[in-house]
């Protein structure tokens, strides 16, 4: 099948592999994007990307906290200009607060009553007509604790409670509020930077682990090592993947040596109270959304000799 410039560009964006390597990978896998990513990784030509696709959508991620519950929402727009619009920012703030009551149900959020009347979906339609640009209510999630604190953090905030990365951290325990808030802020900043995929190793997606295992097996086979050594290489790769992608085993970005589980335990010991990291949510604007850039695709076509 003919490999298009757009396919080459998408694979290059997702893997940072060379243009010709991307073209070859797509050729070897009959244009299957996911298989091409795995092919490049097996050959050692691509980094182990965590995200499902290139982050490209505009808009804002908004967070809201009420007592021991927090909510995060993502609302997209066509351009970054809209994200700076006061009307759009007010809408994001209002929707984040409403999200506290829907427990992650995006349809229920769309149907929720908006403060000025009508539903969230109707207000969104009105905003589209008024601002003159398409917008969408993409996703929402909540975290909560019975006793303790939920702490929010927005990286590079465009306005209070909203920006391009929003994080919620749920800390269960009987430590004082100031202690939980300080610890939660540090953990949230770590989560924003390190992008863990689950709270602990058991929470990592089983299909993802299996995919990593198949890639590790292919690499081990290509190494030419004896079977018993190859098996140890595979298990070592999986153990490393779990450690690097589960929050509790990640090394704290503040010192790059202390596991997050130990950071929490140390804070609890110092406070003389119980503290458990119960849950977290991390939304990054545009995760998994691909936005076309036709000019660059034409550049790839010229260099790679494929059809645009």
Rounded to whole angstroms, how far apart are CA atoms 264 and 151? 14
Amino acid 237: pLDDT: 92
How far is residue 29's CA from residue 184's CA, in Å, rounded to a whole number?
44
Domain 1-54+290-308 has CATH 3.40.50.10310: no
Residue pLDDT, tens place only, 111-155: 999 999 999 999 998 888 888 788 899 999 999 999 999 999 999
Length of the chain: 308
- DSSP-assigned beta bridge partners for residue 277: 171
Q: Which residues contact 152 (CB under 8 A, 6 or more apart)?
A: 63, 64, 65, 70, 72, 161, 166, 167, 168, 169, 188
- At residue 171, φ and ψ (nearest 5 deg) are -115, 115
Q: Is the pTM of this model over 0.75?
A: yes
pLDDT score recorded for residue 12:
82
- Domain boundaries of the chain, sorted by first residue: 1-54+290-308, 58-198+255-284
From the number of C-beta atoms within 10 Å of its C-beta (0-12, 13-18, 19+), residue 283 rates as buried
> 58: closest CA among 74, 73, 80?
80
CA dist., res. 37 & res. 197, Å (int): 19
| Backbone phi, psi, residue 120, to 5° | -60, -45
Model confidence band, residue 53 (pLDDT cutoffs 50, 70, 90): very low
User: Which one, of 182, 180, 154, lies nearest residue 67 by Cα?
Assistant: 180
The pLDDT value recorded for residue 10 is 86
pLDDT band at 222 (very low <50, low <70, confident <90, very high): confident
- The domain over range 58-198+255-284 is classified in CATH as 3.30.479.20: yes
């Amino acid at each position: 099948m003919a490999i298009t410039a757009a396919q080459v560009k998408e694979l290059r964006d997702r893997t940072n592999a060379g243009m010709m390597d991307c073209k070859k990978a797509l050729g070897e896998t009959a244009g299957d994007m996911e298989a091409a990513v795995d092919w490049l990784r097996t050959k050692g030509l691509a980094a182990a990307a965590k995200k499902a696709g290139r982050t490209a959508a505009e808009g804002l991620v908004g967070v809201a906290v009420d007592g021991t519950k927090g909510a995060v929402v993502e609302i997209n727009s066509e351009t970054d200009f809209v994200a700076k619009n006061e009307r759009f920012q007010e809408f994001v703030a209002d929707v984040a607060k409403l999200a506290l009551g829907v427990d992650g149900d995006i349809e229920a959020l769309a149907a929720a009553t908006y403060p000025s009347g009508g539903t969230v979906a109707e207000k969104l339609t009105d905003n589209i007509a008024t601002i003159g640009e398409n917008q969408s209510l993409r996703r929402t999630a909540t975290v909560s604790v019975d006793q303790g604190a939920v702490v929010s953090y927005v990286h590079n905030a465009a306005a209070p409670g909203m920006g391009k990365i929003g994080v919620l951290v749920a800390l269960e325990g009987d430590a004082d509020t100031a202690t939980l808030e300080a610890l939660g802020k540090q953990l949230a900043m770590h989560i924003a930077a390190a992008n863990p995929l689950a709270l602990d190793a058991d929470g990592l997606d089983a299909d993802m682990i299996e995919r990593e295992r198949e890639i590790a097996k292919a690499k081990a086979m290509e190494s030419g090592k004896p079977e018993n050594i190859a098996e140890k290489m595979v298990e070592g790769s999986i153990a490393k993947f779990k450690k690097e992608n589960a929050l509790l085993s990640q090394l704290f970005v503040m010192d790059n040596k202390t596991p997050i589980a130990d950071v929490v335990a140390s804070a609890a010991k110092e406070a003389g109270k119980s503290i458990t990291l119960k849950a977290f949510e991390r939304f990054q604007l545009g995760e998994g959304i691909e936005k076309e850039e036709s000019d660059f695709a034409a550049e790839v076509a010229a260099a790679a000799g494929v059809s645009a």
